[in-house]
Amino acid sequence: MPEPAAGAIELSGIGKEFPLRRGRSVQALDGFDLTVEHGEFVAILGPSGCGKSTVLRLVAGLEQATLGEVRVEGRHPGELIREHRLGVAFQEHALLPWASARANVALPFKVAGRPVDRERVDELLALVGLEGFADARPRQLSGGMRQRVAIARALALKPDVLLLDEPFGALDAVTRRRMNLELARIWLAQRITTLLVTHDVAEAVLLADRVVVMTGRPGRVRHVQRVELPRPRGTQVTREPAFHALVDRLTGLLDEAEQPGTAA
Amino acid sequence: MNSGIGAGLTNGPSARGVPLAIAGVVLLLVVVELIGRLGLAGPSWPPLSVVLEYLTTPSAQRVLGRAVTATASAAVLGFVLGTLVGVALAVLGSLLPAFGPGLDRLAAVVNAIPLIALGPLLINTAGRAATPTLVAALAAGFAVFVAATSALAAASESQRDVFTVLGAGRLATLLRLRLPAGLPLIVDGLTLAAPAAVLGAVIGEWFGAPRGIGVLLVSAMQNFQANLLWSAALSASVLALAGYLVLLGVRRAVERRFT
């Protein structure tokens, strides 16, 4: 269905309060605005506890905003959930331990009550480089492989929007770097509107078209950085001075964001 | 009951603990034998060897065989019935969260009524023949309900979030996530419910079932048949232990498959 010129994800004037005990509450987000265009990859960077995961959970329909409006494809996230048009992967792989890699990737079909598209499942397993491990159970796979299965699962139903919350946060540095390059390749093959939440600056710069730096609590947009590096972005990109200049600049902004009181 | 207790009871002895466990059992048997031999507890405590010898006589085997068959079938039937009702109620509480706390309280109240007090009531309403099965079902059902209720909440938060975002309905989430993720804990509950069912069946028989170990216990006690009394008690223990060991095997298989 054709959408007006609106972005794929639109957050306007978002405020989010979490109630604490005795009527007190904590303000996670305050006046947060963000528009993600169709087919765009946006990374949200921020100090821990700045509410960046909350942004993702709002878009995923897992939380409701206290103030403001969240629109995905011009509609409420709940409507997209009902139509099985969102894909998500978290820091914990959240795979079903009793099911094979193939069955885990096929899960979204079953949950949606649709016949499993075996061709699509095998194609995704090949895309994430696990064609030889289709029948392996999650505990037989390494941490990096499990995350690849989780990403393949998120892509199974060709979602309108892909949501990634620190998907490589639990991996060691070497595996993480390799997974970043993998994801850059996978994303280029699918070109799905993607929102990535991370605290790894190099990861954000390598993957995203735009990087959003958030302030500390309550979370607001501090800076939006367009990343002009050409795709495909492989290992050679990570050696370029332009890449490092961007990483340094964003790291500096992140450090400032972490100082209380300096936030704009 | 929590999973910690369940795990402790169902993991069985570690490889290193096996010799120690055997030594403990042997020591217990020797003590029982000695108390009987020395007559420390009077004529109602025969030596274990005499009880075992009594068990080899055909008449004892006939009497006990009939009783054990009756008790075992009441226990198994009650166990199955209790498991079905316990799991069904837990599933209901999971599908309709509004009912959850109410069901918890109802189960706690039912469990707070001593089975001994329920016996006469059931005899009058359900009849002598059905009472052992029903008391067994009550005893097993509570253990299963408590285990299943926590088991259905055992899936991790991120797994539940993934199901939510994928647009899974309550039923799909139950069948594809909550039940399989909770199965090891449910079987934990079954491991505790099996001996409880045997105990429930024996208590149910106590009030005048047509036959069973409970009936034997009462008549042997009233007629001062110490050997028969001990044989009946021994049979009940072996039955409960057998149920526990079978479920322990099931649990290990489930553990391998579902985690």
For residue A49, give the CATH number of its domain.
3.40.50.300
Please check whether residue B54 lies inside any domain of the structure: yes
Cα–Cα–Cα angle for A116, A122, A125, nearest 5°?
120
Looking at residues B107-130, what average pLDDT do you find?
Answer: 86
pTM of the entire predicted model: 0.85
Q: What is the pLDDT of residue B107?
A: 86
Cα dist from B154 to B178, B179, B189, whole Å: 7, 9, 14
Please measure the distance between the N-terminal and C-terminal CA atoms of chain A and give it in whole angstroms.
Answer: 40
Of B99 and B36, the one with more pLDDT: B36
Per the structure, the complete domain to which residue A240 belongs is given by 1-29+42-85+191-264
Judge if the upstream peptide bond of residue A138 is cis by omega within 30 degrees of 0.
no
Is residue B26 in a domain? Answer: no
A84 interaction partners in chain B (CB closer than 8 Å)? 166-167
**Residue-level pLDDT at B89:** 93
Question: Whole-angstrom Cα distance, residue A32 to residue A50?
Answer: 12
Inform me whether the pLDDT recorded for B6 exceeds 60.
Answer: no
pLDDT top residue among A48 and A78: A78
Q: Does B15 touch chain A (CB under 8 A)?
A: no
Average pLDDT value over all residues in chain B? 89
Q: What is the ipTM of this complex?
A: 0.91
Nearest CA in chain A to B170: A111
Q: Sort A135 into a burial class: Cβ within 10 Å, 0-12 / 13-18 / 19+.
A: exposed
User: Quick check: is B152 in a domain?
Assistant: yes
Which residue in A184, A152, A179 sits closest to A168, CA to CA? A179
Q: What do you get for the CA distance between the two ends of chain B, in Å?
A: 21
A110 has a pLDDT exceeding 90: yes
- Tokens 């963000």: give the residue: A34
pLDDT tens digit sequence for A198-250: 989 999 999 999 999 998 878 889 999 999 999 889 888 889 999 999 999 99
* Helix (H) or strand (E) segment spanning residue A195: strand A193-198
Beta strand pairing call for A221-226 and A210-214: antiparallel
Convert the pLDDT of each residue in B165-183 to its tens digit.
999 999 999 999 999 999 9
**B37 pLDDT more than 70:** yes
Q: Please tell me the predicted confidence (pLDDT) of residue B34.
A: 93
**What pLDDT does A260 receive?**
55
In this model, does residue A21 exceed pLDDT 80?
yes
Query: Is there a domain that residue B32 lies in?
Result: no
B55 falls within a domain = yes
Task: Please report how the helices B58-95 and B100-112 are oriented relative to each other, as an axis angle in degrees rounded to 10.
Answer: 150
Chain B residues closer than 8 Å to A163 by CB: 165
CATH of the domain at B88: 1.10.3720.10
Range of the domain at B83: 3-12+47-258
Residue A49 lies in a domain: yes
The pLDDT of residue A80: 94
Mean pLDDT of B143-152: 93
Residue A114, domain member (yes or no): no
Tell me if B30 is assigned to some domain. Answer: no
A131-158 per-position pLDDT tens digit: 899 999 999 999 999 999 999 999 999 9
Q: Is residue A50 part of a domain?
A: yes
Q: What is the pLDDT of residues B53-87, one digit of tens each?
A: 999 999 999 999 999 999 999 999 999 999 999 99
Question: Number of folded domains in chain A?
Answer: 1
Helix (H, G, I), strand (E, B) or coil at B225: coil
Provide mean pLDDT across the span B8-13. Answer: 52
* Residues A172-191 pLDDT 10s: 988 899 889 989 999 998 88
For residue A262, pLDDT over 60 is answered with no
Whether residue B5 has pLDDT greater than 50: no
B37 inside domain: no
Residue B180 CB contacts under 8 Å (≥ 6 apart), including other chains = A96, A98, B258
Q: Is residue B39 part of a domain?
A: no
Interface of chain A toward chain B, CB-CB under 8 angstroms: 60-62, 81-84, 86-88, 90-92, 94, 96-98, 107-108, 110-113, 139, 153, 163
Task: Using the predicted structure, report yes or no on whether residue B7 has a pLDDT greater than 50.
Answer: no
Read off the pLDDT of each residue in B193-220 and give the average, rounded to a whole number.
Answer: 92
Residue A109 has pLDDT above 90, yes or no: yes
Q: How many domains does chain B have?
A: 1
